[in-house]
């Protein structure tokens, strides 16, 4: 019988309203931030109920008073490009923010190809070494999910772009921002929020689903679950603590009642047995066990780590960890998909031998360290590459068996998949920033939705409209990446999930104030995460420069516009041809075109450029009616471009069934 449900502790901790003794700010407001130029600026935070708050900036004072819940908001007037500035926020305490710039702020979101880091990009060492940009500022939103919109982010701070800070930042976002900065010399702020494997539904707010009845049931369940957690939080919250965790501290012999580390059983080395990390304990030593397992590992510190703050990364843990270093608690994290990175103060680091102790609490299913993420310890300065690998043999000891854990919390039925559950990522990673003025957004997502392009055709515009509505700045630009080529090239014409998804993305250009970067030539047949992110970011930036910065440039490759049929051939007209159409081939022939008659059976076609149009034909089809171009998962021979070197977007002239 299950004793606890996954997620209960998480929401008991985090659904509660914070207690305020001093004024505090959301994590989005830090030194080095970029505020959106030419827009009224919201500055908000928390304080005691009815506390008076004052902001000093531009040699002026702006005042407000917190409401009964402690929330306050001050609006600053629009400001042109400039900086650095200083901001003082004063209540019962004073907060000073420095090195603030006014420029353009872009939100960068999506799934793994947006998350893909600069350090992993093609020839990244060249870009990293050159990444000293005082006026490009980076803000990383860590992965988080929630049943309802959150007031604040889980973590984050603005960092000046340097070789050290850019390495782990989104490659697409950085190369986009760098191109904008180099072209405009305007300070650029990049807010990155993405999650690998996430669906578009997870990034949409609840009200974005009002036209999608298929989601009403799960949204009702989410609403009911939210109410359940709120009841639990109200029932079990006790003086800012949590009775479930307090009971765990009382009943597990490894803890003292205050949560500190007990002496027992760690003085008895006989109770410790070997176990491999990473790896679930059910797959190694313990079958069908739920409860706590204590892991320990001793490590010899190199002299280079002396007198240094360290960063301990223990990877992924299923479900809850309580992590100690030399007997001092350094952190704990809930949820199996959350990364565990804890700062170890230099004061508790010893010369020679040190000990890591991790209590892992698993409620149901498999438990322990898991996944491909490598655990390690290193200096916390983003400079040194020296690290100690923590994978391999650890020692473990059983703690509290869940069967014996006495608590009256009732279990729920299931654990949602956070990265694909509707609203979850929006609630935790986007909702906390919607009052922060922005220039626009860039988006790289769609792989996870490629199985249902028809639905994506409706969901994607709904997401864009919902974000614009939440931000309340009108039709802010929304620029996105069309899926790259991927998978095995097709040996015969066929329908394609990825081609259909690309078409859904193409049609979203009708939403207005949108732009699309075509990447059909930047993919990798063997890798869904192609490494050429430089050109992806640059192509997004071309659209931004044209539409938002009034640059008279060619920003897009050819886009199909119309067709006519004459003497057994189909003549295609395009827009965005720049200085003209070009076939990137030795003899000037075009590839990846297919043609069909009324029987809807496509065959490979011959194609060439004539008088600014593309002519497509097959001698076996005397009465053609439709053409498709690059209509496969991986049209790796697609070679229609404009003279400026931008590829044509895949398209079809028919409206026949997408997937058969």
Q: Comparing 581 with 415, which gets the higher pLDDT?
A: 581
Question: Left (φ > 0), alpha (ψ -120 to 50) or beta: where does 368 sit?
Answer: left
User: Of 421, 481, 376, 509, which Cα lies nearest the Cα of 112?
Assistant: 481
Mean pLDDT of 92-119: 97
Q: Please work out, in degrees rounded to the nearest 5, the angle formed at the alpha carbon of residue 133 by the alpha carbons of 128 and 137.
A: 100
Gap between the Cα atoms of 428 and 148, Å rounded: 8
Q: Give the integer Cα–Cα distance in Å for 104 and 189.
A: 6
pLDDT higher than threshold 50 for residue 351: yes
Report the length, in residues, of the chain.
660
Query: In the structure encoding, which two tokens stand for residue 219, read together?
Result: 């949204």
Mean pLDDT to the nearest integer, 533-556: 98
Distances (CA, A) of 426 to 135, 419, 463, 465, 467: 28, 10, 10, 14, 10
* Cα–Cα distance measured from residue 389 to residue 392, given in angstroms and rounded to the nearest whole number: 8
Is pLDDT at 15 greater than 70 in this prediction? Answer: no
The set of residues, in sequence order, having a beta carbon less than 8 Å from that of 414 and lying 6+ positions away, is none
Where is pLDDT greater, at 313 or 584? 584
Average pLDDT over residues 588-612: 97
Q: How far apart are the first and last CA of the chain?
A: 45
| DSSP code for 119 | G
Phi, psi angles (nearest 5°) of residue 315: 80, -140
Residue 102 has pLDDT above 90, yes or no: yes
Q: How confident is the model at residue 239 (pLDDT cuts 50, 70, 90)?
A: very low
Q: Rg of the chain's alpha carbons, rounded to an integer?
A: 28
Given pLDDT bands bounded at 50, 70 and 90, which one contains residue 622?
Answer: very high
pLDDT score, position 336: 60
- Quick check: 242 pLDDT over 70? no
Average pLDDT over residues 7-15: 42
pLDDT per position as a tens digit, 129-174: 999 999 999 999 999 888 889 999 988 999 999 999 999 999 999 9
Question: Quick one: average pLDDT of 177-182?
Answer: 99
25 to each of 153, 195, 522, how far by Cα in Å? 11, 25, 41
* Residue with tokens 């600053």, as numbered in its chain: 76
263-276 per-residue burial string, b: 16 or more CB within 10 A, e: under 16: eebbeeeeebeebe
Tens of pLDDT, residue by residue over 499-536, are 999 999 999 999 999 999 999 999 999 999 999 999 99
Give the lowest-confidence range in 270-274, 503-507, 621-625: 270-274
Where is pLDDT greater, at 222 or 76?
76
- Listed in sequence order, the residues at least 6 apart from 417 whose beta carbon sits closer than 8 Å to its beta carbon are none
Q: How far is CA 421 from CA 199, 487, 498, in A?
A: 8, 27, 22
226 or 158: which carries more pLDDT confidence? Answer: 158
77 DSSP 8-state letter: P
**Mean pLDDT (whole number) for 458-471:** 98
Q: Minimum mean pLDDT among 84-98, 309-323, 508-522: which range?
A: 309-323
Q: Which pLDDT value is given to residue 373?
A: 62
Residue 588 backbone class (left: φ over 0; alpha: ψ -120 to 50; beta: rest):
left
Q: What is the pLDDT of residue 14?
A: 39
Is the pLDDT score of 19 beyond 50? no
Instruction: Write down the pLDDT at residue 403.
Output: 80
Q: Which residue has the higher pLDDT, 520 or 410?
A: 520
- Is residue 213 classed as helix, strand or coil in its secondary structure? helix
pLDDT of 9 over the 60 cut:
no
Taking the C-alpha atoms of residue 177 and residue 189, their distance in angstroms, rounded to an integer, is 8
Is the pLDDT confidence value at 233 over 70?
no
Contact between 481 and 516 under an 8 Å Cβ cutoff? The reply is yes
Q: Please state the rounded mean pLDDT for residues 230-239.
A: 51
pLDDT digits (tens, 9 = 90+) for 327-344: 999 988 765 656 688 889
Express as a percent the part of the chain with pLDDT over 90. Answer: 72
Q: Which residue intervals of 131-260 are DSSP H helices? A: 163-166, 171-184, 216-236, 243-251
Residue 4 has pLDDT above 70, yes or no: no
User: Is the pLDDT assigned to residue 660 strictly greater than 60?
Assistant: no
Q: From the CB of residue 595, how many other CB atoms can be counted at a distance below 10 Å? A: 26
Q: How many whole angstroms separate alpha carbon 93 and alpha carbon 510?
A: 50
Is the predicted pLDDT of residue 6 greater than 50, yes or no?
no
Confidence of residue 247 (pLDDT cuts 50, 70, 90): confident
Assign residue 387 a region (left: φ > 0; alpha: ψ between -120 and 50; beta: otherwise): beta
**Among the listed residues 275, 341, 351, the one whose alpha carbon sits nearest the alpha carbon of residue 142:** 341
């Amino acid at each position: 019988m299950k004793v606890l449900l996954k997620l209960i502790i998480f929401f008991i901790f985090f659904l509660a309203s914070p207690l305020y003794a001093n004024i505090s700010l959301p994590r989005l407001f830090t030194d080095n931030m970029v505020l959106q130029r030419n827009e009224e600026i919201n500055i908000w935070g928390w304080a005691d109920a009815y506390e008076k708050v004052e902001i000093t900036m531009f040699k002026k004072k702006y005042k407000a008073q917190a409401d009964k819940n402690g929330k306050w908001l001050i609006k600053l007037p629009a400001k042109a490009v400039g900086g650095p500035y200083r901001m003082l926020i004063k209540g019962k305490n004073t907060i000073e923010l420095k090195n603030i710039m006014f420029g353009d702020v872009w939100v960068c979101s999506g799934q793994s190809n947006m998350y893909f880091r600069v350090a992993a990009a093609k020839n990244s060492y060249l870009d990293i070494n050159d990444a000293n940009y005082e006026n490009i500022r980076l803000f990383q939103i860590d992965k988080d999910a929630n049943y309802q919109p959150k007031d604040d982010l889980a973590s984050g701070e603005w960092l000046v772009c340097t070789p050290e800070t850019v390495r782990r930042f989104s490659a697409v976002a950085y190369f986009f921002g760098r191109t904008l900065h180099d072209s405009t010399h305007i300070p650029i702020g990049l807010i990155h929020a993405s999650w690998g494997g996430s669906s578009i539904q997870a990034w949409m707010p609840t009200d974005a689903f009002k036209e999608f009845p298929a989601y009403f049931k799960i949204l009702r369940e989410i609403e009911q679950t939210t109410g359940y957690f709120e009841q639990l939080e109200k029932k079990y919250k006790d003086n800012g603590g949590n009775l479930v965790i307090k009971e765990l501290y009382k009943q597990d012999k490894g803890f003292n009642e205050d949560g500190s580390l007990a002496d027992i059983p760690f003085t008895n080395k006989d109770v410790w047995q070997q176990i491999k990390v990473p790896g679930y304990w059910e797959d190694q030593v313990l079958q069908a066990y739920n409860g706590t397992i204590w892991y320990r590992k001793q490590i010899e510190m190199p002299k280079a780590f002396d007198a240094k703050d360290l960063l301990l990364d223990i990877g992924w843990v299923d479900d809850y960890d309580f992590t100690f270093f030399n007997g001092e608690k350094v952190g704990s994290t809930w949820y199996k998909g959350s990364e565990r990175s804890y700062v170890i103060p230099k004061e508790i680091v010893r010369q020679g031998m040190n000990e890591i102790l991790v209590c892992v609490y698993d409620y149901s299913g498999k438990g322990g360290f898991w996944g491909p993420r490598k655990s390690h310890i290193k200096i916390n300065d983003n400079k040194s590459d020296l690290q100690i690998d923590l994978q391999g043999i650890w020692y473990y000891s059983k703690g509290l068996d869940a069967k014996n854990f006495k608590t009256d919390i009732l279990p729920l039925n299931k654990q949602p998949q956070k990265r694909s559950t509707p609203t979850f990522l929006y609630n935790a990673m986007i909702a906390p920033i919607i009052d922060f003025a922005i220039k626009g957004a860039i988006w790289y997502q769609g792989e996870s939705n490629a199985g249902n392009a028809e639905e994506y055709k409706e969901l994607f515009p709904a997401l864009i409209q919902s974000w614009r509505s939440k931000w309340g700045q009108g039709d802010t630009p929304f620029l996105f990446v069309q899926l790259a080529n991927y998978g095995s090239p097709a040996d015969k014409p066929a329908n394609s999930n990825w081609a259909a998804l690309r078409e859904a993305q193409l049609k979203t250009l009708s939403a207005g104030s949108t732009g699309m970067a075509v990447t059909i030539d930047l993919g990798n047949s063997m890798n869904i995460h192609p490494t050429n992110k430089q050109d992806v970011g640059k192509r997004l930036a071309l659209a931004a420069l044209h539409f938002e910065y009034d640059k008279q440039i060619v920003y897009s490759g050819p886009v199909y516009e119309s067709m006519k049929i004459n003497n057994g051939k189909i003549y295609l007209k395009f827009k965005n041809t720049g200085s003209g159409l070009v076939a990137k081939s030795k003899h000037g022939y075009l590839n990846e075109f297919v043609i069909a008659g009324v029987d809807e059976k496509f065959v490979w076609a011959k194609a060439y450029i004539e008088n600014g149009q593309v002519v497509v034909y097959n001698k076996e089809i005397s009465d053609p009616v439709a053409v498709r171009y690059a209509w496969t998962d991986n049209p790796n021979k697609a070679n229609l471009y404009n003279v400026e070197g931008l590829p044509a977007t895949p398209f079809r002239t028919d409206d026949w069934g997408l997937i058969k």
